[in-house]
């Protein structure tokens, strides 16, 4: 039976970092007191188990074998990770691994420093950033809502004095309906933006998500004589990415609606009513580009295009691209816009295929796969 290197562990009980010692096969030989506190297991429950007990199922294929390999044959591993406590909950830790030999035997060391609070502070910082824009948005809401209400009130008063059957009465009624609908749309879009949920990431087929979004706007495009050209670009076979399907479809729908609005107005040649949707991918990311030959956006307006309530068209609410930017950034992606007046606009969304680091989703070397795939 492997002996625990006794000269190593007495002082470790006083260290405020979880420390676990294993043999070369990752069987736990020793844990300090802080490991009990961090993971919720007693020493008796952990010692004799495999280190895999502390890892989620999704990290047993690559992440754990990779860090064991790096500990034994390289300089070890240092980085953060989400590990599993006894009650099944996740806890963020900063993990360090190394190996040493004593008495002719090799041992592995794992140290875990809690960074759960740091992760929470990061999330709170992001939320504060989102809330910072809410002050400006509230001011704009007052401005945006005040104008429709003033119109409703003013025209309602005139309506009371006018003959019900007069042409003016009909015009006033139509104006009231338009302003009321605009007010309802402002409120709806505002709620959509403020209530964006945290993404729930699932593995989705890239092409299928785009095709589903295009199907959802098909009736509107037909009514305005607009057509889509879907180009699969560099896609080879099925490509997957980790997203919140509902949020990404809503974000992409906003972009398509903008393009339809841009090319669907006025008398345009058929080729100028065609919207190009181009898909591309590489090892790390997928891209969706939506290009139209509509009115375009001035260079001055491009700097403000993501601001809440900013729109180059007075009848538009100006929250669509604000919503899109928020969703894309919550997915760890990027959005870029290229546009020229009277020439058209291209909006490109970039999403990471997999939010996990490479060490969590592929082998660091063929040796790691051959020797440690059964940990």
Quick check: is 374 in a domain?
no
C-alpha–C-alpha distance, residues 31 and 12, integer Å:
9
Same domain, 170 and 106: no
Same domain, 99 and 231: no
274-281 and 227-231 strand pairing: parallel
C-alpha–C-alpha distance, residues 343 and 5, integer Å:
73
Provide the token pair at 289: 């580009």
C-alpha–C-alpha distance, residues 235 and 247, integer Å:
23
Rounded to two decimals, what is the model's pTM? 0.60
Q: Which of 148, 173, 195 is the last residue of a domain?
A: 195
Quick check: is 223 in a domain?
yes
CB 45 within 8 A of CB 15: no
Same domain, 41 and 172: no
* pLDDT values of the chain reduced to their tens digit, one per residue, 375 residues: 455 554 455 666 667 889 999 999 999 999 999 999 999 999 999 999 999 999 999 899 999 999 999 999 999 999 888 899 999 998 889 999 999 998 889 999 999 988 866 656 665 565 555 555 555 665 566 667 767 777 777 777 777 666 666 777 778 777 887 787 777 777 776 766 666 777 888 889 999 999 999 988 766 566 667 888 999 887 877 888 989 999 999 999 989 988 888 886 655 666 678 899 999 998 889 999 999 988 888 888 888 888 776 666 655 666 788 889 989 998 889 999 999 888 899 999 999 988 777 888 788 888 888 877 777
Q: Which tens digit of pLDDT belongs to each residue from 289-325?
A: 999 988 888 888 888 888 776 666 655 666 788 889 9
Contacts 24+ apart (CB under 8 A), 316-322: 316/261, 317/144, 317/182, 317/185, 317/186, 317/189, 319/189, 319/190, 319/192, 319/193, 320/189, 320/254, 320/255, 320/257, 320/258, 321/254, 321/255, 321/258, 322/193
Same domain, 261 and 289: yes
- Beta strands per DSSP E along the chain: 18-23, 28-31, 77-84, 90-102, 105-114, 202-205, 227-231, 240-243, 274-281, 285-292, 334-340, 344-352
Same domain, 51 and 151: no
Residue 140: predicted pLDDT: 66
Same domain, 79 and 184: no
Q: Count of CB atoms within 10 A of residue 194's CB?
A: 12
Same domain, 186 and 327: no
Quick check: is 233 in a domain?
yes
CB 323 within 8 A of CB 196: yes
Say which CATH number the domain at 90 has.
3.30.450.20
User: Which residues partner with 147 through β-bridges?
Assistant: none
Contacts of 261 (CB under 8 A, 6+ apart): 294, 313, 316
C-alpha–C-alpha distance, residues 108 and 313, integer Å:
64
Expressed as residue numbers, the domain containing 136 is: 117-195
Torsion over CA of 33, 60, 236 and 233, rounded to 10 degrees? -10
Same domain, 209 and 357: yes
C-alpha–C-alpha distance, residues 352 and 329, integer Å:
11
Quick check: is 373 in a domain?
no
Quick check: is 375 in a domain?
no
Q: Which of 69, 87, 114 is the last residue of a domain?
A: 114
- Beta strands per DSSP E along 88-156: 90-102, 105-114
Torsion over CA of 194, 199, 205 and 209, rounded to 10 degrees? -10
Q: Which of 82, 114, 146 is the last residue of a domain?
A: 114
Same domain, 271 and 360: yes
Domain count, the chain: 3
Say which CATH number the domain at 348 has.
3.30.565.10
Same domain, 335 and 314: yes
């Amino acid at each position: 039976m492997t002996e625990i290197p006794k000269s190593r562990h007495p002082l470790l009980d006083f260290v405020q970092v979880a420390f676990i010692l294993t043999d070369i096969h990752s069987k736990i030989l020793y844990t300090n007191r802080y490991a009990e506190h961090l993971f919720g297991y007693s020493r008796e429950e952990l010692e004799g188990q495999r280190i895999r007990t502390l890892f989620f199922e999704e990290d047993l294929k690559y992440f754990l074998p990779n860090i064991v390999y790096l500990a034994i044959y390289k300089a070890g591993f240092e980085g953060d990770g989400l590990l599993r406590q006894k009650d099944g909950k996740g806890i963020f830790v900063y993990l360090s691994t190394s190996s040493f030999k004593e008495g002719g035997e090799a041992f592995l060391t794992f140290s875990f420093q809690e960074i759960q609070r740091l992760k929470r502070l990061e999330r709170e910082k992001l939320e504060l950033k989102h809330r910072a824009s809410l002050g400006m948005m509230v001011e704009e809401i007052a401005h945006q809502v005040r104008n429709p209400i003033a119109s409703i009130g003013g025209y309602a008063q005139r309506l009371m004095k006018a003959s019900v059957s007069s042409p003016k009465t009909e015009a006033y009624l139509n104006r009231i309906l338009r302003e009321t609908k605009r007010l309802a749309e402002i409120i709806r879009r505002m709620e959509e933006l403020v209530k964006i949920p945290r993404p729930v990431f699932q593995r989705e087929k890239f092409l299928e998500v785009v095709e589903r979004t295009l199907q959802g706007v098909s009736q509107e495009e037909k009514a305005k004589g607009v057509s889509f050209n879907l180009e699969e670009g560099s896609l080879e076979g099925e490509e997957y990415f980790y997203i919140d399907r509902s949020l990404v479809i809503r974000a992409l729908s906003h972009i398509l609606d903008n393009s339809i609005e841009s090319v669907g107005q006025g008398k345009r040649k058929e080729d100028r009513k065609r919207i190009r949707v181009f898909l591309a991918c590489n090892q790390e990311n997928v891209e969706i580009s939506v290009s139209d030959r509509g009115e375009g956006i001035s260079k001055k307006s491009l700097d403000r295009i993501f601001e809440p309530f900013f729109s180059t068209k007075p009848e538009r609410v100006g929250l669509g691209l604000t919503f899109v930017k928020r969703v894309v950034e919550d997915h760890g992606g990027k959005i870029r816009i290229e546009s020229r007046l009277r020439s058209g606009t291209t909006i490109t969304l970039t999403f990471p295929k997999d939010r996990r680091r490479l060490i969590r989703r592929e082998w660091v070397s063929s040796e790691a796969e051959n020797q440690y795939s059964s940990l």
